Structure 1
């Protein structure tokens, strides 16, 4: 199991200049500060994400599960975890954005999971939390682990990889 430090995350998205991400020492989960992503304006077209990229070779030919605990405040469109795997030419192998369990509105802390199979030639693994539209989302207790095949997939498998 790999625990991800908040300092390793970066801000991106379709409109990243409309969002800020930081380590929030006031909004705690199990006594730990939370990674926060929030919009700078009340009405926004676009999305922001905070994410991390890892070497995917350690996860090749494995089933992995990303889990994280989210809390939201006034999320206009949706927020949720996402994960993607790519090969050496950045071709997309798999993607999941927590659909249909995307979060909106104001919610208390809740754990979410994404499970997918990683192909044999995975080079990079990217994952994070997305905020579409305005609002605020906190992320904590992020874990990435290799699981066995009894854990069901949560995404559509891309064929022929």
Structure 2
């Protein structure tokens, strides 16, 4: 019986020994595989976060409220410091205009009223945006703006009238403003709207997008940037 028991236990003990040997010999490999899986998971999470962030960049940063004009969105650095809505008493044409105004005396950043469309029908053209704008007590600056992004959300054309010679400030009666951008073949999305920084209020009305010819100058900040640096030794004086 002892011999039989030994014969029975022999394979079991041997199997356990093989299992333990395999466990201890493969444990470092298993740990390495686990670390590899964790690294892959981290990369996947990071890529997912990046994708979601890129998607969010193309969406308004604030969900539309009851006061947001239909078809438009609200964005900006601190849009909660501003109010956006419709005005049925102050307008240039029709029966209403949109407005952006500061909520208190010390708003931070800026707010923008915007709309985004596909660039398919405008590639290879010069697109002009015009709009009637009225301003009251704008302390910072305001303007209309248009931006063209490619499929990877890289900006390929942009203008927002921030230049001191073109920006809207103080109080201004209704006036038509315009900007024009060349829409490249790589353009995927066209964003446009109005922006205001700091205190005051602007009204926006009668927005138009029209394809124009070369007689209308492009106002693109990106393409109009200098090709080469200047006055690097500061010996060129001042403006």
Quick check: TM above 0.5? Answer: yes
Structure label with greater radius of gyration: 2
Q: Which has the higher strand share?
A: 1
Alignment partner of 1:47 out of 110, 115, 122: 110
Q: Which residue in the other structure is 1:106 paired with?
A: 171
Give the Cα separation in 1 of the matches to 2:109 and 2:221: 24
**Could you tell me the TM-score, scaled by structure 1's length?**
0.91
The answer as to whether partners of 1:85 and 1:95 remain within 8 angstroms in 2 is yes
Consecutive unaligned residues of structure 2, counting only runs of 5 or more, are: 1-68, 225-239
Instruction: String of CA shifts for 1:117-154, please: whole Å, max 9, x gaps.
Output: 01012110001100011110000010001111121112
Q: Does 1:25 align with 2:88?
A: yes
Q: Secondary structure at the match of 2:158?
A: strand
Name the structure, 1 or 2, with higher relative contact order (CA <8 Å, separation 6+).
1
The offset of 1:157, in angstroms, is: 4.3
1:127 aligns to what? 192
Query: Residue deviations 1:89-112, cap 9 Å, x none?
Result: 001001101233111111110100
User: Does the 8 A contact of 1:57 with 1:121 survive in 2?
Assistant: no
Alpha-carbon contact 1:11-1:20 (below 8 Å) kept: no
Task: Please give the residue correspondences for 1:83-98 in structure 2 after superposition, counting only pairs within 5 Å.
Answer: 83-98=146-161
Structure 1 residue 14 and structure 2 residue 84: aligned? no
Which of the pair is proportionally richer in helix?
A: 2
Aligned alpha-carbon RMSD (Å): 1.4
SS in 1 for 2:130: strand
CA distance in 1, matches of 2:93, 2:145: 23
Q: In the alignment, which of 204, 213, 216 is matched to residue 148 of structure 1?
A: 213
**Aligned residue number for residue 61 of structure 1:** 124
**Divergent runs of 4+, >2 A:** 155-159
TM-score by length of 2: 0.62
Which residue of structure 2 aligns with residue 158 of structure 1? 223
